[in-house]
Amino acid sequence: MLSFILRRILLMVPTLFVVSVISFVIIEAPPGDFMDAYVDQLLQQQEAIDPAEIDSLRLRYGLDAPSYVRYFRWLGNILQGDLGRSLEWNQPVAKLITARLPWSLAISVASFLFAYALAIPIGLYSATRQYSIGDYVFTLIGFIGLATPNFLLALLILWYYFVATGNVAVGLFSEEFLVAPWSFARVIDLLKHLWLPAVVVGTAGTAGLIRVMRANLLDELERPYVMVARSKGLSEGKLLIKYPFRIAMNPVASTIGWTLPTLVNGELLASLVLGLPTIAPLFVGALLSQDMFLAGSVVMILSSLTLVGTLFSDIVLAWLDPRIRGAI
């Protein structure tokens, strides 16, 4: 078991290296560099530009060096634990990301709670009352949830919420708490605003989970042991929760491992629309402005989390099924 885990961890090293090369190439692929994007942005804002200043900045940021030199400079820093400085925000990347990580996690956790809290009972209902009207309604809602991009959902909810209440649900705090220090009232205010992103981000996940839960439970319900339990007179509710439900939860639980990266970046487009202080808008901005260090770091962190999540799932599986341990 230990050697299996070790082997898997060693395999992660070359994978991460390949990921770093690919992400660097992709981020560098568009023509121009950060300064070009910067100048373009200034021009659009109708600001005057002194080309002398641009040249000196390009020189200072080392953007004139060939790309492989810049790649190894970047990689070297990362190996020393230094993510570099964001060109756009003129701050250490590590500081930018850690400042926003709690918000990303809060929203992701809230949306997961929302998704699981909703999906599991609905899945249970749909499976036990297969092809009932309720099942069809939930299936329809589920598919709509799966098919609607969540930024669109965010815009729609924003608009209808505004029409209904006259408030704009952008951001995580109302006006009076925006700059206030932390207090109990501010936490309450946060909770009042957190539900919207949680619902928006969680909807797609909910729909998927309902389907998984329903299918697994339907499989289990046809097993002979269920019939035996019924024939022995076990009450339907007790039977359901105690046996098939627990087994049906297994696949649902094993997907948690893959969700590590989505915890950090799952709410990307919805965050942009809802103006949330998460990592996602920072990442999108960095990609647009070709802020190599920031964008590259976020990609590296996401890739690492994917690998760790996969490793975690593999370990759980290997622990459950000894045959897998020898396979890799």
Query: Is 31 near other proteins (CB under 8 A)?
Result: yes
Query: Is 101 near other proteins (CB under 8 A)?
Result: no
The string of DSSP letters for 232-287 reads TT--HHHHHHHTHHHHHHHHHHHGGGGGHHHHHHTTHHHHHHHT--SHHHHHHHHH
Query: Is 29 near other proteins (CB under 8 A)?
Result: no
For 285-306, give the secondary structure using H, E and C.
Answer: HHHHCCCHHHHHHHHHHHHHHH
We find the least distance from the C-beta atom of residue 119 to other proteins, in angstroms, to be 28
We find the least distance from the C-beta atom of residue 303 to other proteins, in angstroms, to be 22
- DSSP, collapsed to helix, strand or coil, labels residue 224 as helix
Query: Is 282 near other proteins (CB under 8 A)?
Result: yes
Burial group, residue 25, by CB count within 10 angstroms (0-12, 13-18, 19+): exposed
Options 67, 91, 98, 130; binder of other proteins; rule CB under 8 A: 91
Query: Is 92 near other proteins (CB under 8 A)?
Result: yes
> Residues 283-322 vs other proteins: string with x where CB under 8 A?
-xx--xxx--------------------------------
- DSSP, collapsed to helix, strand or coil, labels residue 91 as strand
Q: Which amino acid is at 116?
A: Y
Which helix (H) or strand (E) element contains residue 86? strand 85-86
Count of all residues that appear for the chain in the document: 328
The token duo for 293 is 């260090």
Query: Is 162 near other proteins (CB under 8 A)?
Result: yes
> Residues 238-277 vs other proteins: string with x where CB under 8 A?
----------------------------------xxxx-x
Which of the ranges 141-149, 167-175, 215-223, 310-318 carries the binding residues for other proteins, by CB under 8 A? 167-175
Query: Is 137 near other proteins (CB under 8 A)?
Result: no
Torsion angles phi and psi, residue 289, rounded to 5: -95, 5
Read off the DSSP letter of residue 18.
Answer: H
Query: Is 60 near other proteins (CB under 8 A)?
Result: yes
Query: Is 89 near other proteins (CB under 8 A)?
Result: yes
Name the residue nearer to other proteins (CB basis): 206 or 289.
289
Options 4, 116, 173, 243; binder of other proteins; rule CB under 8 A: 173
Options 23, 70, 78, 85; binder of other proteins; rule CB under 8 A: 85
**CA–CA distances in Å: residue 260 to residues 35, 301, 312:** 34, 11, 10
**CA–CA distances in Å: residue 325 to residues 35, 66, 314, 318, 321:** 50, 45, 9, 5, 8
Query: Is 56 near other proteins (CB under 8 A)?
Result: yes
We find the least distance from the C-beta atom of residue 166 to other proteins, in angstroms, to be 7
Query: Is 149 near other proteins (CB under 8 A)?
Result: no
The dihedral of CA 297, 299, 305, 311: what is its sign? negative
Query: Is 279 near other proteins (CB under 8 A)?
Result: no
Query: Is 50 near other proteins (CB under 8 A)?
Result: yes
Query: Is 115 near other proteins (CB under 8 A)?
Result: no
We find the least distance from the C-beta atom of residue 313 to other proteins, in angstroms, to be 33
The token duo for 109 is 């956790």
Residue carrying structure tokens 């395999």: 11
Binding site for other proteins (CB under 8 A): 30-32, 36-37, 39-41, 43-44, 46-53, 55-56, 59-60, 62, 82, 84-85, 88-92, 94, 96, 155, 158-159, 162, 166-168, 170-173, 175, 178-179, 272-275, 277, 281-282, 284-285, 288-290
